[in-house]
Chains A and B, each alone.
Chain A
Amino acid sequence: MIKLVGKPASPGYAIGQAFLISYQEAESAVAEKTDLETQLKLFESAISTSKRQIKELIESGNLSKTEIDILNFQNEVLNDEVFIDKIRSYIKNGMGVENAIKTSFNESIDELSEAKSEYLKERIEDLQDLMTRLINNITSKNEPLNLPKSESIIVSKIITPSIFASIDKEVILGIVTEEGGTTSHVAIMAKERGIPMIVGVSGILNKIKNGDIIVLDGYNGEVIVNPAEQQLLAYKTRLEEVRVISQEFEKYLGTKAYTVDGTYIKVQANVGNEDDLTSAANVKAEGIGLLRTEFLYLERTNAPTYEDLSKLFKKASESFASDEVIVRVLDIGGDKLPPYINLEPEANPFLGLRGIRLMLKNRELLKEQIKAVAVSNIKGNLKVMLPMVSDYDEIVESKKVLEEVEEELKKENKQFIVPELGIMIETPSAASMADVMSEVSDFFSIGTNDLTQYILAADRGNKNVSYLYDDLHPSVLRAIKDVVNKAKRPVGVCGEMASEPLAIPLLIGLGIRKLSVNPPRVLATKMLISKIDKSEASELAEMSLDMKTADQVKQLIKEYYEKKKIKFI
């Protein structure tokens, strides 16, 4: 039995037999043995074979949009005559066909790695994938890649988007690779399909052979090879536990979640588009704690009209007629803008003109949104929530817009109900001034993702400092406690923290009684709440507030769960 460790790239557990996919390294045998003319012919043939393979993959109908976009880009490169001619000229200069390909590709890859844009850097992976495909088509003479036919755990040096696209997804139980990153295209595609994946396991190809029994823990990044009988049993039990726990979810459908000692915690859903809304209704979430509106605004050339908005809001209002539906005002900024909103380039978009600040400078857009909510508010359950509030005056100004909307709708003789107005608490200033904000807000929802970033002053997307981002950090817990203490209005949490098993006891212990989570997490969250004792949770919260680091807090909660034998996913 060997235990190997890598980086978890896609969550889940898997147990199965290893299937090694060999990533063919090109040998230069071809270059030495053939003349220039043959090499050029081999190259042309490899290009047309590659184009054909890509076309077949795209037309297979099994691919997701992400996979298709990647392959389309690769096709464009194959049709880039300037680039392909460069390779031809390298071949004519005697470089050898594989070297010519590698050199040209690497030159372009080097240029792209200097780029500031994330999009360009991502294309590097696609170019490497294409380079491999071309070289394989030269050296392996159209031999198909050795692919698994029965359920297996795939083990490889690296899985490229092309290889992933070619494997029958039904047979992939899990993936382990020696190289690759957790944010690579394949990691994203594995996550989309719910396939557990671990990357960065050094030396894995020397340690695993075909047919070895593998246990893959995509949550912790552990790979167990040929576990002893007892261990295998333990892992199979865990796998079964996970399966059973997910089945247990059904019990919680349509129920209210109470802690062991009888405290009711409301569980709502976060939705970002129409599909989410349907999912939320299917799992009978107790309302929508966060209705994100960005999808209605981005990827269009002009702003949605108030009819466009009303259509969605009415649907949401009716689907959750007996619960609240909280519509968040458009929350965008310099990092992601639609073409019809103008903004000067900013050095620090996350500290810049975004959220309510941007909306107050685009008052007509703000007014249109609030108007749409008011006329859609047939059941009286729609509410408006302002994002990124950092100052009292922002709320006062927004309430003026609400009054103007009321005036206009009265004049137009339209039916409407004035919605409640609340705010996201996601800036440190709003968090510490919940008492003052209570004077002009009807409710609060803590956006723990951004709040955590601002409190710890770390960008979770920056790999050099992402280790600092942790919503279990005592500083974040202290801020939440501050909000709960000072707020004179209902406080909910709609950030990722609301669905994190390690955080839920703390939120309950700190006094939060409303959690809004992604639809797939609604039932799991209710189930976990029903296993927690509120008075114990309060003790845990008190202890956590005095801890020094997020790791200490995590350790405390893990020990609690172990002691109480609480299982969760």
Chain B
Amino acid sequence: MGGKNGRNSYKFRITLKNKLGLHARPASIFVETTKKFKSKISLIKNGKAVDAKSIIGVLSLGVSQGDEIEVICEGEDAKETTETLKNLIERLGEFQ
């Protein structure tokens, strides 16, 4: 999938199934993980977008159990980033 400026862009939508959503420890783990990648990562809920590498940003989005979010990754490691994050979100229940 090509994106603007010829950069790599990958995205996915997912519904949060774990009890805490993206609060508390799951939020910390999510942000810790996003920071490991080079790509620019956006987290979107109900049309509002935040930088997924910002704990304040992620918390302010208030993602709870049952919410649907979109994650867009742009950069050289975008594909790997989306795969890792999708996997992580699916497993978030384990970190509660």
Residues of A within 8 A of B (CB): 73, 76-77, 79-83, 108, 111-112, 114-117, 119-120, 123, 299, 301, 336-339, 345
Contact = CB atoms under 8 A, between A and B. Distances in A.
Given A119-B24, A120-B23, A112 B60 contact: yes
A123 B21 CA distance: 16
A337 B19 CA distance: 7
A111 B57 CA distance: 10
A299 B93 CA distance: 9
B55 A77 contact: yes
Interface stretch (B4-12, B62-70, B73-81): B62-70
In the A-B complex, the 4 residue pairs with the closest CB atoms = A339-B93, A82-B54, A111-B60, A83-B56
Interface in B1-47: 18-21, 23-24, 28, 31
Contact of B53 (A77, A82, A301, A336): A82
Given A80-B55, A337-B19, 13 more contacts: A80-B56, A80-B57, A82-B57, A83-B55, A108-B56, A111-B60, A112-B59, A117-B23, A120-B62, A123-B59, A339-B94, A339-B96, A345-B66
Contacts of B31: 76, 80
23 contacts: A76-B31, A80-B53, A80-B55, A80-B57, A81-B54, A82-B51, A82-B53, A82-B54, A82-B56, A83-B54, A83-B55, A83-B57, A114-B62, A115-B60, A116-B62, A117-B64, A119-B23, A119-B24, A120-B23, A120-B59, A123-B59, A338-B96, A339-B19
Contacts of B21: 117
Given A81-B53, A83-B54, A117-B23, A301 B93 contact: yes
Nearest to A110: B60
A219 B54 CA distance: 42
Contacts of B94: 301, 339
Contacts, number: 59
A117 B54 contact: no
Contacts of B18: 339
Nearest to B25: A69
Nearest to B19: A337
B56 A77 contact: yes
B64 A116 contact: yes
Contacts of A301: 93-94
Contacts of B55: 76-77, 79-80, 83
Given A82-B54, A339-B94, A345 B65 contact: yes
Contacts of B64: 116-117
A79 B53 CA distance: 10
A329 B23 CA distance: 29
A337 B96 CA distance: 10
Query: Residue among B19, B21, B53, B64 with the most chain A CB within 10 A?
Result: B19
Contacts of B59: 112, 120, 123
A74 B60 CA distance: 15
A82 B53 CA distance: 8
Contacts of B57: 80, 82-83
A299 B96 contact: yes
Interface string B82-96: 000000000001101
A80 B62 contact: no
Nearest to A117: B23
Contacts of A73: 28
Contacts of A115: 60, 62
Nearest to A78: B55
A119 B53 CA distance: 20
Query: Residue among A80, A115, A116 with the most chain B CB within 10 A?
Result: A80
Nearest to A123: B59
B12 to A, nearest CB: 21
A492 to B, nearest CB: 33
A79 B21 CA distance: 22
A79 B28 CA distance: 12
A294 to B, nearest CB: 14
Query: Residue among A73, A115, A339 with the most chain B CB within 10 A?
Result: A339
Nearest to A118: B23
Contacts of B23: 117, 119-120
A119 B27 CA distance: 11
Contacts of A117: 21, 23, 62, 64
A297 to B, nearest CB: 12
A198 B38 CA distance: 49
A115 B54 CA distance: 17
A83 B59 CA distance: 12
A111 B28 CA distance: 18
